[in-house]
Amino acid sequence: MDIDIVSVFPEYFDVLQLSLLGKAQDNGLVHVAAHNLRDWTHDVHHSVDDTPVGGGAGMVMKPEVWGECLDGLLGLRGDDSDDNQNSEAGDAIESADTVESAAKHDGTVLIFPNPSAPLFTQRDATELSHADRLIFGCGRYEGYDARIPEHYRAQGVNVREYSIGDYVLNGGEVAVSVMLEAITRLLPGFMGNPESIVEESYTGGNALLEHRQYTKPALWRSLEVPDILLSGDHGKVNRFRRDEALQRTNAIRPDLIEALDCKQLDKPDRKT
Ligand code: ADE
């Protein structure tokens, strides 16, 4: 999977070299390139934002800079002569003529984190893990000009906007890191033990919070591991964990219980 990230703080993504994602890059499973949006500017100040039309606080990211950057990454010819001067970064990216149709390639998804967008879920992570290429555009300040995603949708690009939660961050960088980790760990070959993904919370059609986990010792500071987990009876252990998952989900996330498809529940889960 090829991943491009555009940000005014590309250094933010140096951490992606660490841990399992770093290993996946070393193994060639994913290729991550972080780009500096300011490389597509032409003014001495390398400005990427301007005041909001209609008034209001803060600054909004300018469409022209994003347009040049994303045209370059997507291999599209810009349709606006007044904002399409050549930039160093633009020159470095493949010629638009050779990859004119690349943006319409089904395997590419352009993603903008946005606190006012639909919530990013495990279902989205699963779907996006099948993409060939992801391009993330990190907004800053009061966000980005709304015409940017609108324009690329009209060009036939698969554009998504996602919030990672009901709170406001200073920019999209952290949100991109969160989405990226949720997506890439689902790639075949990414995890040492693929089974650990199957049993996790939010996985599958009937998402439940996961049961609690314990390790040795069986007694720690007068707190015991539940006896049944030490019994060696796998049937009982599975039933215990399943009951706990249902009870915890009901207590903490009743919305997930409501969304369950009762027909898919195990027989012992159903009320008789
Ligand atoms: N940018 C700022 N806050 C955000 C959030 N909660 N989700 C996605 N992008 C954001």
ipTM: 0.98
Distance (angstroms) between ligand 1 centre and the Cα of 180 equals 14
End-to-end Cα distance, the chain: 47
Distance (angstroms) between ligand 1 centre and the Cα of 96 equals 31
Kindly tell me if the per-residue pLDDT of 29 is higher than 50: yes
Distance (angstroms) between ligand 1 centre and the Cα of 60 equals 15
Q: Can you tell me the distance from the alpha carbon of 149 to that of 157, in angstroms, rounded to the nearest whole number?
A: 9
DSSP one-letter string for 13-60: GGGGGSHHHHHHHHTTS-EEEEEEGGGG--STT---EEPPTT--SS-E
Look up the CATH superfamily of 2-184.
SPOUT methyltransferase, trefoil knot domain (3.40.1280.10)
CA 158 to chain CA centroid, Å, is 15
pTM: predicted TM-score of the whole model, two decimal places: 0.87
Residue 175 Cβ < 6 Å to ligand 1: yes
pLDDT, tens digit (0-9, with 9 covering 90-100), for 104-144: 567 999 999 999 999 999 999 999 999 999 999 999 888 99
CATH topology of domain 201-269: Trp Operon Repressor; Chain A (1.10.1270)
pLDDT attached to residue 12: 96
Domain residue ranges of the chain, discontinuous segments joined by +:
2-184, 201-269
pLDDT, tens digit (0-9, with 9 covering 90-100), for 144-169: 999 999 999 999 999 999 999 999 99
